[in-house]
């Protein structure tokens, strides 16, 4: 597998540091999550982000907040209304979600996972602040591993398979071509089928060619690819294709959420145009 199709830690970590600093700026994360590299990257990219917003009307930081806050909202609902007591956040990067939700919900078991280099950094951060314990853990995983110590099967092995579980990936799936992505979803659905109730939350940027800002989206996609030294893939033309893809991988009851309609209570200003982002909530069985 070539380096451009296999997302390694050197590939994704720059964006993890940048988004970690965005969460901190918006009071979604404690100072420990704001790394020096993240602060530097944010400062260097600030003129570019401003230019994209002013010239093209595309607010990249707003999109990041949309996805993060909408996933948070769906996770809260799953815990408070759906009885979820264990959460697995794959490709956790420098996300502060595990810390915030463990503080808010003392009954919650939260397992974060990432490629070994990123997981080690996250583990060190949380341990240094005294936040790791029996409820909040970090494990190594490679979503492309079909078997072995880094596989999904190994990751889920020590969860309570008699209790509901919710899995999150944020800022991950568009780094993979469709074949690899759907292979991951198929393996994930197979693991989730072992639980009495299981759901999956992820963000997704579809190939919305009829979108009024499609040209800006394509430009932004090319920019992300250059900044992360890899490809950034757009999948699926519409909601029907998204639902069909998830169902083909073994998921059921697939909801495709648009932040402009399903995130009205997120506290973000109206951008005056349809969102480029979708958040998917899929269930097994």
Do the domain assignments include residue 207?
yes
pTM here? 0.90
Do the domain assignments include residue 15?
no
Do the domain assignments include residue 8?
no
Contact between residue 203 and residue 35 where contact means Cβ atoms under 8 Å apart:
no
Select from 221, 228, 215 the least CA-distant residue to 55. 215
Do the domain assignments include residue 221?
no
- The number of residues making up the chain comes to 285
Contact between residue 149 and residue 40 where contact means Cβ atoms under 8 Å apart:
no
The total domain count for the chain is 1
Count CA atoms within 13 Å of residue 182 on its CB side: 15
Do the domain assignments include residue 192?
yes
Q: Which of 4-8, 25-29, 106-110 has the lowest mean pLDDT?
A: 4-8
pLDDT band at 8, cuts 50/70/90?
very low
Do the domain assignments include residue 34?
no
**Average confidence (pLDDT) over 28-44:** 93
**Average confidence (pLDDT) over 32-46:** 91
CATH number at residue 100: 3.40.50.150
Domain range for 76: 60-215+232-284
Do the domain assignments include residue 14?
no
Position 227 pLDDT exceeds 90: no
Cα 71 to chain centroid distance, Å, stands at 8
**Average confidence (pLDDT) over 168-183:** 94
Structure tokens at 170: 């944020």
pLDDT in tens, 94-148: 999 999 999 999 999 999 999 999 999 999 999 999 999 999 999 999 999 999 9
Do the domain assignments include residue 29?
no
Element (H, E) at 280: strand 278-284
| 139 beta partners | 113
Q: Residue 53: what pLDDT?
A: 76
């Amino acid at each position: 597998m070539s380096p451009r199709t296999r997302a390694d830690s050197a590939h994704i970590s720059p964006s993890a540091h940048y988004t970690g600093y965005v969460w901190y700026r918006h009071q979604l994360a404690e100072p420990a999550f704001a790394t020096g590299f993240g602060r530097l990257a944010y400062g260097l990219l600030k003129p570019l982000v401003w230019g994209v917003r002013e010239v093209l009307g595309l607010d990249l930081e707003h999109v990041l907040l949309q996805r993060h806050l909408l996933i948070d909202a769906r996770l809260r609902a799953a815990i408070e209304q759906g009885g979820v007591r264990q959460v697995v956040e794959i490709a956790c990067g420098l996300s502060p979600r595990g810390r915030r939700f463990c503080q808010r919900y003392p009954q919650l078991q939260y397992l974060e996972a990432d490629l070994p280099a990123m997981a080690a950094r996250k583990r060190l951060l949380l341990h240094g602040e005294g936040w790791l314990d029996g409820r909040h853990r970090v494990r190594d995983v490679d979503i492309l591993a079909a078997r072995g110590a880094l596989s999904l099967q190994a990751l889920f092995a020590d969860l309570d398979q008699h209790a509901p579980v919710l899995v999150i990936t944020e800022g991950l799936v568009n780094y993979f071509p469709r074949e690899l992505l759907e292979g991951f979803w198929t393996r994930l659905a197979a693991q989730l089928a072992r639980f009495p109730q299981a759901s999956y939350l992820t963000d997704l940027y579809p190939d919305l060619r009829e979108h009024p800002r499609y040209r800006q989206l394509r430009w932004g996609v090319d920019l992300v690819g250059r900044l992360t030294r890899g490809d950034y893939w757009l999948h699926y033309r519409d909601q029907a294709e998204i639902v069909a893809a998830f169902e083909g991988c073994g998921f059921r009851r697939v909801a495709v959420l648009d932040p402009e309609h399903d995130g009205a209570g997120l506290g973000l200003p109206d951008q005056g145009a349809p969102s480029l982002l979708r958040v998917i909530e899929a269930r097994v069985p």
